[in-house]
Amino acid sequence: MHGEPRDGRIVIVGASLTGLRAAEKLREEGFTGSLTLVGEEPQPPYDRPPLSKQVLLGKVPAGHTGLPQRRELDAQWKLGVRATGLDPIEKRVLLADGAEVPFDRLLIATGTRARRWPHPAEGALDGVFTLRTSDEARRLAERLDAGPRRVLVIGAGFTGSEIASACRERGLAVTVAERGPAPLVGALGGTLGALAAKLQRAHGVDLRCGVTVTALEGDGRLTGAQFSDGTRIDADIAVVALGAVRNTEWLVESGLAAGPRGVTCDAGCRAFDMYGIVTDDIFAAGDVARFPHPLFEYQLLSLEHWGNAVAQAEVAAHNMVNPGPRRRPHLTVPAFWSSQFGLNIKSVGVPTFSDQVVIAQGSLKDARLVAVYGYRGRVTAAVSVNQARSLEYYQRLIETAAPFPPAPGAADQIESPDPVPSDVPDPKLLSHGPTVALTGHLPDRRLTVVQPAR
C-alpha cells in the first residue's frame, strides 16, 4: 500500500451500480489517489430494474436508464473491456485488450450475467433472448414492438414474471414455463407462489408449472418449443429467464475463493483466498459477493438485490480507505421489490431462510397482504403485496429477532393466524457443490485446489 489508506491506486472491476456507488463513497471518504473503473459493457453505469419494466413496456428507451452520479469522481473509466485475470502477487488486473492495470487495493464488483439456454444451437435461433443488459433489453423491446404472435418465457422467477407481465400489458399472448410448482416459489415459497400463479392466469398468461422446455424449435428463426409433458407450442420469441451466473471466471487462477456461488468475503467485504484466509487489499461487493450475515446464522449469502449492491458498495469503499479499527460490517437487512401484474411486491429479510409463513395482515383473496416468515420461532423475513408501508414494522422485528409468529398487531387479520410451512426449496438441492477440494494430509501439505464448476 502506498502510505496512507487515502492515497495510492484503487481499481474497481465492474462499472455498474456497485462500482459507481463504491467510487462515489471512496471520494466522499477522502480518497485522493488514482481511481480506475473497468467495465465490460461499453455504456457507463446504468440502472437495470427498469429494463424489465419501463423499457419492455416501451415507455423508456433502453439507452435511457443511465444512473445519476452523486458527486464528481475524478476517475479513469475503462469501458468496453473485460477483465480476464488477476495477479494478486504483482497486484494487477489483466484486461482482454492485453493491458495490465496495477492497483494497491482492488474492488471486485463484476456482478452476474444472464444464464444462457443450455443448447447453443437452439439458443442462437433468432427470437431467443435473455434479459440482463441494456442492449438485450433494447433488442427484446424492439421485437415486442413488432407484435409477435406468442412469447414464451422460460422460468417464472422475478425477471421471468416481470417479462410476462409486460407482455400481457402490451396485449401479447404469453406462455410461461416453470419447472417448480408455481411462479416465484424459489424466492417466496409456496403460499405466495400460489397467489402468483392465480394472478398470472387471471391476467391471461398460459402458465405451465412443473414442466421444463425440452427443445426450442426453428430453422434459423424460432418457431416453437417442446415441453417435458409432451406438449408443444408455436412461439416467435422465447425469453430465457433461468437466473444469473456470477462473473467469477476471470478469477479462476487468482487464488481467491471465487466460484459459481460468487467471491467469498468477510462481513467487511474483504475477499477470502481459497484457503479461507482473508486478504488485506482485495474487496468484493454487489451481486458477485458472498458474505456471512449474522442475522442469518452467519450463512454466506449472495444477494442479487439493488439495495444490497448500494449498501455493500459503501461498506467496501469505507473499509478500503479506513484502518482496521474503523472498519464497518455489512449488516443491512436484505430488501428487494418487484412490480408485476399490477402488484407491488416488496421483501425484507431472507424469505428462503424460513420454515413457516403466516399472513399477518390483509388477505390472499384481496391480493393485499403482508406475509411474515419465521425460522425456528423467530421472524426472518416479510413480504408485502400492495401494502409496502407496513413493511418497515416487520423489518424491525427481523432486526430484533422477534418471536414468530408475530403477536397480533393493530392491523386487520383476515387469514388464519396459524402459520403454515413456508415451502421454500431446500437450498441444498440448489447446491452447485464445493468450489474447492482439499488434498494432502500432513498439516503443512494440506492444500486447497479449485474445483471447476460441474
Partner 1 sequence: MNVVVDLNRCQGYAQCAFLAPEVFTMHGEESLLYHPVVPDGQLEQVRRAAVACPVQAIVMGEEAGAGAR
Question: What is the closest distance, in whole angstroms, from the C-beta atom of residue 66 to partner 1 in the complex?
Answer: 4
Taking residues 16 to 35 in sequence order and writing x for each that binds partner 1 by CB under 8 A, - otherwise, the string is: ----x---------------
Angle at 349 between CA 343 and CA 350, to 5 degrees: 90
- Residues 6 or more apart whose CB falls under 8 angstroms from that of 386 comprise 343, 344, 367, 368, 369
Which of 8, 14, 50, 193 is close enough to bind partner 1 by CB under 8 A? 50
Which CB sits closer to partner 1, 67 or 436?
67
Q: Which of 288, 234, 247, 291 is nearest to 266 (CA)?
A: 291
- Select the residue interacting with partner 1 from 33, 44, 405, 409 (CB under 8 A): 44
Contact 155, 207 (CB under 8 A): no
Cα angle, residue 361 at apex, residues 358 and 364 outer, rounded to 5°: 75
| Among the listed residues 203, 244, 219, 46, the one whose alpha carbon sits nearest the alpha carbon of residue 125 | 219
Residue 389 is a binding residue for partner 1 (CB under 8 A) = yes
Residue from 28, 29, 33, 60 in contact with partner 1 (CB under 8 A) = 60
Name the nearest CA neighbour of 424 among 174, 210, 263, 187.
Answer: 187
Q: What DSSP character marks residue 410?
A: S
Residue 70's identity, in one-letter code, is R
* Residue 372: CB minimum distance to partner 1, A: 18
CA distance 433 to 430: 9
CA distance 209 to 204: 15
**Count of residues that interact with partner 1, criterion CB under 8 A:** 42
CB of 200 to partner 1, least distance (A): 15
Q: Which C-beta is closer to partner 1: that of 95 or that of 216?
A: 95
Shortest Å distance, C-beta 311 to partner 1: 10
Could you say whether residue 388 binds partner 1 (CB under 8 A)?
Answer: yes
Q: x/- binding map, residues 325-364, to partner 1, per CB under 8 A?
A: ----------xxx-x--xxx-x------------------
The residue among 96 and 388 lying less far from partner 1, judged by its C-beta, is: 388
* Cβ closest to partner 1, residue 78 vs residue 150: 78
Query: What are the two backbone dihedrals, phi and then psi, of residue 428, each rounded to the nearest 5 degrees?
Result: -60, -30
Closest distance to partner 1 from the beta carbon of 338 (Å):
9
Q: How far is CA 167 from CA 65, 144, 232, in A?
A: 20, 8, 20
Per CB under 8 A, the list member of 18, 54, 159, 435 interacting with partner 1 is 54
By beta-carbon proximity to partner 1, the closer residue of 128 and 166 is 166
3-class DSSP assignment, residue 7? coil
3-state secondary structure of 105: strand
Please tell me the distance from the alpha carbon of residue 38 to that of residue 94, in angstroms, as a whole number.
Answer: 11
CB of 117 or CB of 158, closer to partner 1:
158
43 binds partner 1 (CB under 8 A): yes
Task: CB nearer to partner 1: give 76 or 431.
Answer: 76
The interface mask with partner 1, positions 297-326, x = CB under 8 A, is: ---------xx--x----------------
- For 326, the grid coordinates are 474503523
Residue 108, CB-side half-sphere exposure with 13 Å CA sphere: 35
Helix intervals (H) in 243-340: 306-320
Q: Cell triple for residue 51?
A: 429494463
* Smaller CB separation from partner 1, 85 or 337: 337
- Binding residue for partner 1, selected from 299, 322, 386, 413, defined by CB under 8 A: 386
Residues within the interface to partner 1 (CB under 8 A): 15, 20, 37, 42-47, 49-50, 53-54, 57, 59-60, 64-71, 73, 75, 77, 79, 306-307, 310, 335-337, 339, 342-344, 346, 386, 388-389
